A and B are shown apart, each in its own frame.
Chain A
């Protein structure tokens, strides 16, 4: 598979770092020679020092047989033009990173397709939506979509409300609802593993479920999370930038009590014009006295999303010192993520670059793999695989093929219906399966499903 990445900024760098292990043909284009040298030395990708919107360049090089084109430079306009040119040159799929312009919706007589863009990725929206999701569905740690959004992979944190604590996978499979979901991964103390029949779910675990989107409410109820989030929460957002504003807007719509702190006066007015009920406060988010006068100690969530990393860290630490249980901190440097998770009272750190890169990874497809997902900080991958008649497993029952221990089939799509596979399930030609596997078992497992 051939991938062209335009822009080797932070996102590009992180993306390449993730992808380089996957044996793909990656070409990176940037105007910064230093970065390119570093990339080719560290990850062995092909680099090209050029300006991507030089139309001469795009039409004459690489692009006619590329499978995917990613325009992720820092300029929205450059990205849009680059995508248009790439599409003209014959690239199969283009992804455009757009930060300022709201291009989610198609307007009358205008579609992204006409700009040559197949998919828009907006880091601000990604981060903001992630934060909003964390607040509105607090037990959900992570969620991901497969098979065009029909299938969800959701990580639930097991809290005292959960009915599953203390039960083994075998017990759970015997309670009659096992046809509706599959437990794919259990994460305990930051280590993820694919569960075996005898594993017991413990308090504090993050359990990943694979299920159909329509069963979302059923699963929540089944887990025992029913009454939660009925009461509106008090949220303080520090930083009224694009992310802060978007989070405030979404939470406001969901009837949460939002206060948003912004240092800059004219920006404060600007967000006050956009927001309806949320209180816009004009002061420095590290000013403890003023935070006190806004009842910080009674706040459920403190989110710091200013442009300054140190400001975010400081204010989140201040907030947790004042007794705020859940603090969410926006960091730019990916390295900080792990330090924060383990060593500070800050409950969560979010990095837009990692989110973006992780989001982009799912578009990287193999011949029969149409979606790919690598879990954060772990060796576990989830692949969406099309079975054609050359695949070894077609026509066999699951318990007939000797899959490695750490490989599991999450869900099978046959025609328009989905089924949770059991040992006796047949695999047929045309099925789409979600395979959960350990990275080490990857090539061995793929041998069963893909004919190479």
Chain B
């Protein structure tokens, strides 16, 4: 382990976050709210720690893969600590566990909250809460790569460890440029969304907050009843659209925007087609079943199911309808969507569409082999072959995801006496969704859970965001051997 380099890099990440903390600090100063001092103290503490760490000399040898994993994992856990300081010092969230839970839920774009009355919070705190999601959405380390010149640490393996999906795609020859490009695309979409929401009736403050949390598929809102609080079908449709956009591989957006506006970039992508197909099937079947059973206004029904399906599949977690009142079919579909998640290379969480698609194809091949015992067939995506080790990796990942889920449910059920809640909260945390089932459903929050449970869920969120392996590798003795 190259501890010196890791600590130095952690110092840089803390430093960046502390500088970003200055934005809500200024906002608090201008809006003259009581939390100004809290932000200032948080900034001072994190900036001090970062300065100390940055002065650690670099190790002589380069970072190895395991060092990258350690750096990324510790980077995220450290970000959670920096992020919780304002909540804690301002007294908005008196318990440190709760403050950390809220902070890591922000950075991992989960959107699970322990706040019961969001609207009573000072605006600067709300802005910081949304900003953590926006930063976490595209990745803190990728952000660090993009903004710090000559950050010669890790390179591709760091990028790989943080960008979701089975294989990270380098869009440009230099990894730093790729990071910049991704952040730039992300920024463009966020700005467009801010403008759209602003002219559709939100205040600028609300528009910025909701754009941050929509593009990052986070799900924090500034109103107690989430997006439903705006009572505007237009806003709901805009957010539905942008949630779906945020759930698409950003490499596709990049190629579309910067390589000639060819719609073929999207239509050719089989993962995207699969993802959209899942969305369409989910919306139509759920809406149809609700309509047959209960009737009601079709327009509202379609809008609510579209919004909810998009919100859950992209692991955003905004709410307009209480899906716990839906027929069980709808709830099961949503549970499946929570586990599946959006596309690789997007800001969404979950197992990712491409892995599901590949496993389906793999299952088809295996079934075909029952009829033709000597069959040789490779799994392909858009005519390119998926190597067998990638497939094994994906199968292993899905198995691990399930294993982590089971162990977490066991641990959570020590304090929670409700099966649905235990399962729902773990699925929602691991998939970075936010609202789960049972007592953590779309109309409730996580405040009532025990503190041990909250720590378990916090770690689930980090594991879900970093796709488990990056995190779990730290528990291998091999990682720590000299």
Q: Which of A31-39, A88-96, A275-283, A441-449 contacts B (4 or more CB under 8 A)?
A: A275-283
The interface bits of chain B over 373-414 (1 if a CB of A lies within 8 angstroms of the residue's CB, else 0) are 111111010010100000000000000000000000000000
Which residue of B373, B375, B383, B385 is within 8 Å of A280 (Cβ)? B375
Query: Quick check: A272 and B378 within 8 Å, CB to CB?
Result: yes
A279 surroundings in chain B (CB, below 8 A):
368, 372, 375, 377
Query: Quick check: B376 and A268 within 8 Å, CB to CB?
Result: yes
Query: Quick check: A269 and B376 within 8 Å, CB to CB?
Result: yes
A290 surroundings in chain B (CB, below 8 A):
374
A294 within 8 A of B: yes
With both beta carbons as reference points, the residue of chain B lying nearest to A293 in the complex is identified as B373
Query: Quick check: B378 and A294 within 8 Å, CB to CB?
Result: no
A102 within 8 A of B: no
Query: Quick check: A281 and B374 within 8 Å, CB to CB?
Result: yes
Which residue of A269, A271, A276, A282 is within 8 Å of B374 (Cβ)? A282
A265 surroundings in chain B (CB, below 8 A):
376
Interface-centre pick from A262, A265, A268, A272 (highest chain B CB count, 10 A): A272
In the assembled complex, the Cα of A268 lies from the Cα of B368 at a distance in Å of: 16
A106 within 8 A of B: no
How far apart are A272's CB and chain B's nearest CB, in angstroms?
5
A273 within 8 A of B: yes
Give the number of chain B interface residues (Cβ < 8 Å). Answer: 11
Interface residues of chain B: helix, strand, loop or mixed (majority): loop
Query: Quick check: B374 and A272 within 8 Å, CB to CB?
Result: no
Which residue of A276, A282, A293 is within 8 Å of B376 (Cβ)? A282
Query: Quick check: B373 and A273 within 8 Å, CB to CB?
Result: no
How far apart are B424's CB and chain A's nearest CB, in angstroms?
42
B373 surroundings in chain A (CB, below 8 A):
293
B380 surroundings in chain A (CB, below 8 A):
273, 276
In the assembled complex, the Cα of A276 lies from the Cα of B373 at a distance in Å of: 19
The interface bits of chain B over 77-101 (1 if a CB of A lies within 8 angstroms of the residue's CB, else 0) are 0000000000000000000000000
For window 321-377 of chain B, which residues contact chain A by CB distance below 8 Å?
A: 368, 372-377
Which residue of B368, B378, B383 is within 8 Å of A269 (Cβ)? B378
Which residue of B368, B372, B383 is within 8 Å of A294 (Cβ)? B372
B377 surroundings in chain A (CB, below 8 A):
272, 279-280
In the assembled complex, the Cα of A279 lies from the Cα of B374 at a distance in Å of: 10
How far apart are B369's CB and chain A's nearest CB, in angstroms?
10
With both beta carbons as reference points, the residue of chain A lying nearest to B383 in the complex is identified as A276
In the assembled complex, the Cα of A280 lies from the Cα of B378 at a distance in Å of: 10
How far apart are A451's CB and chain B's nearest CB, in angstroms?
58
How far apart are A253's CB and chain B's nearest CB, in angstroms?
14
With both beta carbons as reference points, the residue of chain B lying nearest to A240 in the complex is identified as B376
In the assembled complex, the Cα of A262 lies from the Cα of B377 at a distance in Å of: 12
How far apart are A263's CB and chain B's nearest CB, in angstroms?
10
In the assembled complex, the Cα of A132 lies from the Cα of B368 at a distance in Å of: 26
A282 surroundings in chain B (CB, below 8 A):
374-376
Query: Quick check: B378 and A283 within 8 Å, CB to CB?
Result: no
The interface bits of chain B over 293-309 (1 if a CB of A lies within 8 angstroms of the residue's CB, else 0) are 00000000000000000
Which residue of B372, B378, B383, B385 is within 8 Å of A281 (Cβ)? B372
For window 247-263 of chain A, which residues contact chain B by CB distance below 8 Å?
A: 262
Which residue of B372, B376, B383 is within 8 Å of A272 (Cβ)? B376
The interface bits of chain A over 129-153 (1 if a CB of B lies within 8 angstroms of the residue's CB, else 0) are 0000000000000000000000000
In the assembled complex, the Cα of A240 lies from the Cα of B474 at a distance in Å of: 46
Which residue of B368, B372, B374, B385 is within 8 Å of A273 (Cβ)? B385
In the assembled complex, the Cα of A139 lies from the Cα of B385 at a distance in Å of: 38
B374 surroundings in chain A (CB, below 8 A):
281-283, 290
A272 surroundings in chain B (CB, below 8 A):
376-378
With both beta carbons as reference points, the residue of chain B lying nearest to A266 in the complex is identified as B376
B376 surroundings in chain A (CB, below 8 A):
262, 265, 268-269, 271-272, 280-282
A280 surroundings in chain B (CB, below 8 A):
375-377
B372 surroundings in chain A (CB, below 8 A):
279, 281, 293-294
In the assembled complex, the Cα of A269 lies from the Cα of B377 at a distance in Å of: 7
In the assembled complex, the Cα of A103 lies from the Cα of B151 at a distance in Å of: 46
How far apart are B372's CB and chain A's nearest CB, in angstroms?
6
A294 surroundings in chain B (CB, below 8 A):
372
A283 surroundings in chain B (CB, below 8 A):
374
In the assembled complex, the Cα of A268 lies from the Cα of B372 at a distance in Å of: 14
B378 surroundings in chain A (CB, below 8 A):
269, 272-273
Which B residues lie at the A interface, using CB under 8 A? 368, 372-378, 380, 383, 385
21 contacts between A and B (CB under 8 A): A262-B376, A268-B376, A269-B376, A269-B378, A271-B376, A272-B377, A272-B378, A273-B380, A273-B385, A279-B368, A279-B372, A280-B376, A280-B377, A281-B372, A281-B374, A281-B375, A282-B375, A283-B374, A290-B374, A293-B372, A294-B372
List the 9 closest pairs (A to B, CB-CB), nearest first.
Answer: A268-B376, A280-B376, A281-B374, A283-B374, A273-B385, A272-B376, A272-B378, A282-B376, A282-B374
Other CB < 8 Å A-B pairs besides A272-B377, A290-B374, 20 of them?
A262-B376, A265-B376, A268-B376, A269-B376, A271-B376, A272-B376, A273-B385, A279-B372, A279-B375, A279-B377, A280-B376, A281-B372, A281-B374, A281-B375, A281-B376, A282-B375, A282-B376, A283-B374, A293-B372, A293-B373
